[in-house]
Structure 1
Amino acid sequence: MVPLLGITAATVATAEPASPAAACPDRMIFEVGGNGDPKADVYNGSNERLPAGVAFTKVEYSASIAPLPGNPISMDDSVAEGIGNLDRAVRDFHGACGGAQITISGYSQGAIVAGDVLNALSADTVIPHGQVNGVLYGDPRRPSDNGPGGIEGNIPTIIPGLSMKGERGFGDIAVHEICNKNDTICFSENPITNLLGFANGVVGYLSGDHRYVIDPHAHMGNGDTVHDQPPRVPHGPPLPLPIGTPWEIFNGNLGAAQDSVTQIRNQVANALSPELRDRLAELPFLSVPSA
């Protein structure tokens, strides 16, 4: 199964700076993996290519999303664990190496963790904002400044423990969001105004478009990069109607949210092949509990 969002159990410093400031790296990259990747192994290849003066710290957490099979920990608890581990690791490193640059990177569920910490740091002055940047891949909370945003600002909360928290920003901290156009996790069309566009993202996710070339040192910068892709489900632009996303309309009303997502799931299923229809449970955001 393609990884979705991530969590781990402890903070592991793969490259630990020595105590003297002279031994500190010029830049430390903090890395958070996605669902099923508690040790951020998705970063292994890029870590082997880091230049001198750049080190990395893998931040471990549970990387789990109940109700997915084999995931005993809810996404909310997993994300909270990751945020605590990452925030502590970043602040401890800055305390030891106050002049070093800090890059915070996350993939999928790890992008929720990394992005939420970057959001908190943008409202904090403990670490100068010019010393911090972020690189996020397949972020479910990606802002909708460049077309549709992430799924957490589109689909409402339908399962306790799988909270859809909406979009968030980063103030004056430079953050590079990287997203594939066929990936419903970060590029999620409003299913009310563009059902086939939303279905395209679901098919893309199930077909591997949630995979990314992970290399935060090469992808630093600021702003939003959406990789254009040929659609997997033919669709046009959204209807030009001033209708909010289901998240905007129903989030906070669990019963109405579940009814809305049930309708969306049934409509999307009609646009899928039988094989992909059987895999819809891999998207817990559409896994409406049985009545």
Structure 2
Amino acid sequence: MKRLLTVLAVLVMVGVIGGGAVQYYRATTSDDVAAPPPPPPLESSAPAAPAQPDWCPRVEFIAAPGTWESSPEDDPLNPQANPNSFMLSITNPLREAYDPADVKVWTLPYTAQFKNINAQQEMSYDESRDEGTLRLVNELKFMGENCPQTKFVLSGFSQGAVIVGDVADLIGAGAGPVPAASVAGVAIVADGRRETGVGQNPGVPVDGVGAEIALLPVNSLIQAIVPGATMRGPRTNGFGELADRTFQICAPNDTICDAPYNISNGFDRALDLIQSDGVHAMYANNPNVIPGTTANAWVVDWAHRVIGAQ
């Protein structure tokens, strides 16, 4: 009898302990008990890409025509001010090759004149260049602020090359309307501020310099021939961060970009600025600028490669 009572007591104890364990298990797994907080998300070392509206192009190709090849009223998306404009031989093939929603081809509309002794009624070079520069900066600033992921490809000829080169020089120094990282490439043809060894030369070597550099020492003298055309000398920054992707194309003996350093005949050099220089006008079919091709064909092929890499 005593043994039976002992066994019963043990069974009761086991039941009590087991019941308590079940209650504890239920309590600890109840929905009323808060789950432990999830671990914090891992922080990415790369910042998120800025938002890009749907209307923004992947790439914008900007072209700046030369003197007498543009107009401030021209349509930048369908320029017709001068059907013989050298830059049209570059922009037309690009417009045909790409969906405008993907690659925007924009041509700088500006006065593009050059007041001189034979054309006193025209806008001065300084005023025309400043107008073009402001319009180019405004386009870049607008697109850069609204389309932060869009990449830019810049090109220009003659006065347009000076404008594009000046803006590229500021961008490369971190003082432009868009960061240098947003500019995929620059190609300028017949730049009046060209220096040997500044930027990249894809063509034959030339020994001279841009007219604005060659004529700087006689700037006051040439005002009688080209009033309001300030010769400013070389650019300050050598294109900075953009130097490795800025291409300078210049035909040998083009006195706009390949002027001799010797300015003993400064009066004649000033006259070169306003005369119809055969070499300066022949970039579309001159085979002696870039071996195996022409300047405009080279820029088109180069633009396709740069655009395709973005």
AA aligned to 1:47 is T
Task: Give the match's secondary structure for 2:228.
Answer: coil
Residue aligning to 1:16: none
CA shift, 1:81, in A, is: 0.5
Equivalent of 1:37 in 50, 58, 69: 69
| Structure 1: distance between partners of 2:87 and 2:263 | 36
Equivalent of 1:166 in 218, 227, 233: 233
Residue aligning to 1:82: 132
Structure 1 gaps of 5+ residues are 1-18, 222-291
- Structure with the bigger percentage of strand: 1
Equivalent of 1:184 in 252, 255, 259: 255
CA shift, 1:118, in A, is: 1.0
Task: Give the match's secondary structure for 2:250.
Answer: strand
- Structure with the bigger percentage of helix: 2
Equivalent of 2:178 in 127, 143, 146: 127
Listed one character per residue, the Cα deviations across residues 23-60 of structure 1 (whole Å, up to 9, x for unaligned) are 32221111111111114643323323223232211111
AA aligned to 2:112 is A
Taking structure 2 as the reference length, the TM-score comes to 0.57
Count the aligned residue pairs: 199
Quote the sequence identity (%). 25
Task: Give the match's secondary structure for 1:31.
Answer: strand
| Structure 1: distance between partners of 2:105 and 2:69 | 16
Residue aligning to 1:278: none
Task: Give the match's secondary structure for 2:136.
Answer: helix
The question of whether the paired residues in 1 share the 8 Å contact of 2:133 and 2:163 is answered with: yes
Residue aligning to 1:22: 54
The question of whether the paired residues in 2 share the 8 Å contact of 1:149 and 1:167 is answered with: no
Structure 2 gaps of 5+ residues are 1-50, 72-78, 80-84, 198-205, 285-295, 305-310
Q: Quick check: which has more Rg, 1 or 2?
A: 2
Alignment root-mean-square deviation, CA:
3.0
CA shift, 1:137, in A, is: 0.6
Taking structure 1 as the reference length, the TM-score comes to 0.60
AA aligned to 1:183 is D
CA shift, 1:179, in A, is: 0.5
The question of whether the paired residues in 1 share the 8 Å contact of 2:188 and 2:248 is answered with: yes
The runs of at least 4 aligned residues of structure 1 exceeding 6 Å deviation read: none
The question of whether the paired residues in 1 share the 8 Å contact of 2:65 and 2:158 is answered with: yes
Listed one character per residue, the Cα deviations across residues 85-126 of structure 1 (whole Å, up to 9, x for unaligned) are 000011111122211110121110111111111112122266
The question of whether the paired residues in 1 share the 8 Å contact of 2:169 and 2:240 is answered with: yes
